[in-house]
Structure 1
Amino acid sequence: MSSGRILVADDEPSVRESVGYALEQEGFDVTIAIDGDDADEKIGEGDVPFDLLVLDIMMPGRSGLDLCRDVRGRSAVPIILLTAKDAEVDKVVGLEVGADDYVTKPFSVRELLGRVRAQLRRRELDRAVTAEGGSSTIEAGEVSIDLARHLVTVRGEPVNLTRSEFQVLRLLADRPGQVFSRLEIMEELWQSEFSGDVRACDVHISNLRQKIERDPQDPELVVTVRGIGYKLVEPE
């Protein structure tokens, strides 16, 4: 059986009940929040007492986006957003403020369970690397990644990345010069077969460029290979 504490926040009773029941059947300890303010209270102000958050973007009280932005400022806990079918802007903004993934309503519970497992699997891999300690460092020109401490420096300056951004940069820096398709990048984030919208990859890349490039509009490190995907430029 699976284990872990998960907060499910949605103002639709049918969503809360179906998602909560499915997660409990998988062995998770589920806490339900009926709106944004309730979720805010359950999350608290200190260390986040959950292993994963499932947040509806549009809720009475604090929105899922507000909660995501607040939590991401103090925790790397995985966050999955629930979005409306036509809310393309919300999906982009959600990833920009630090969400790890999103699921579009209406969705199958099986799909959401797959996303939850993928995020928790990634978190366990991160913890395993940290527990190993040692000097696990990737050096790729101006980019340095300390895997054990989850730290990134670019041109000698520390850069604060979300877990998803960290994983994307880690993949590219581990094999500089190699071109990765959007699907390959998303499957690295999922650590399994990816069946969602690969355009989410473009948002992660855009966010990453905002943090590591001198000019995000004219990137020198993470570049686009038109028609194929992205790569980290090989050091000279």
Structure 2
Amino acid sequence: MDVLLVEDDDSIAEPLVDGLARYGICARRVATGAAALAAARAEMVLLDLGLPDIDGIEVCRTLRHHADVPVIMLTARGGEADRVLGLELGADDYLVKPFSLRELVARMHAVGRRTTPGAGGGHGSPEGAQRVGDLVIDRRTRRVRLRGTPVPLAPKEYDVLVALAADPGAVVTRRTLLETVWSPNFFGRGKTLDFHVACLRRKLGDPACIETLRGVGFRLAVTS
């Protein structure tokens, strides 16, 4: 795995690069937000929020605007507001310092499984495209079309849609969605999930396309 590590603290970055190498992970390290945005595309980004030039939140926002690369935030900011903001901006996971190398590697592999195109299989063509009514989800390219028109989705919006589309019409609990799309250790109040579902409904053009079962979860409505 080719990883971009964005960390300005040498005492953290250098042993982290060496430790990841022992797990067969090649980490290219940069120390500023500007260098991260100018770096060659990586398979995953490990992003410190406390950078000397650009706040890591802004770096994440910009990365998400230009590329669909998995991002794990590494930060000393452990407050719920910071975690929710980071996840809503598209981070795939959020790890608070100090953390163990084994936990980080486990999180990286989990994020990789969730975000790799086609990893979830699917009902549809051999290329990984799934049709649910007028909606087509192509896992190979992570693209969605509605009646033939592309639907631009943020990475987490896409992941929520894929989780719901795994069994169209079936209820997916809130906890299952949070653990599948974000992290098994996500203990926020779930507002970030409601935010992404609301965005999905708006982009799909029909509030009824995703039904809410209050206090339970959501389901993707099956239309002919």
TM-score bracket relative to the smaller structure: 0.7 to 0.9
RMSD (Å), alpha carbons: 3.2
Residue in structure 2 matched with residue 137 of structure 1 by the alignment:
129
Structure 1: stretches of 5+ with no match in the other structure: none
- Cα deviation for residue 66 of structure 1 reads 1.8
1:203-222 equivalent positions in 2, closer than 5 A: 203-213=192-202, 219-222=207-210
- Cα deviation for residue 67 of structure 1 reads 1.8
Q: Could you tell which deviates more after superposition, 140-149 or 66-75?
A: 140-149
Aligned AA for 2:210? V
- Cα deviation for residue 39 of structure 1 reads 2.6
- Cα deviation for residue 169 of structure 1 reads 0.6
Q: Deviations over 1:23-67 (max 9, x none)?
A: 1110111112223233334x25xxx1x111000122111222222
1:8 aligns with 2:15: no
Aligned AA for 2:29? I
1:73-112 equivalent positions in 2, closer than 5 A: 73-112=65-104
1:24 aligns with 2:16: no
Q: Deviations over 1:73-112 (max 9, x none)?
A: 2221111112334432222222222221111223222221
Equivalent position to 1:196, from 139, 161, 185: 185
Gap change, CA 1:177 and 1:230, over 3 Å in 2: same
Q: How many residues align?
A: 223
Using structure 2 for the length normalisation, give the TM-score. Answer: 0.81
| Partner secondary structure for residue 220 of structure 1 | helix
Gap change, CA 1:215 and 1:147, over 3 Å in 2: closer
2:141 & 2:204 partners in 1: Cα distance?
27
- Cα deviation for residue 120 of structure 1 reads 2.3
Q: Deviations over 1:197-225 (max 9, x none)?
A: 15386424522421432799x94222332
Residue in structure 2 matched with residue 226 of structure 1 by the alignment:
214
1:210 & 1:95 partners in 2: Cα distance?
14
Equivalent position to 1:119, from 111, 118, 121: 111
Structure 2: stretches of 5+ with no match in the other structure: none
2:149 & 2:194 partners in 1: Cα distance?
19
Q: Say if 2:117 and 2:140, in contact at 8 Å, map to a contact too.
A: no
1:147 aligns with 2:149: no
Q: Say if 1:164 and 1:204, in contact at 8 Å, map to a contact too.
A: no
- Cα deviation for residue 116 of structure 1 reads 0.8
1:64 aligns with 2:52: no
| Partner secondary structure for residue 118 of structure 2 | helix
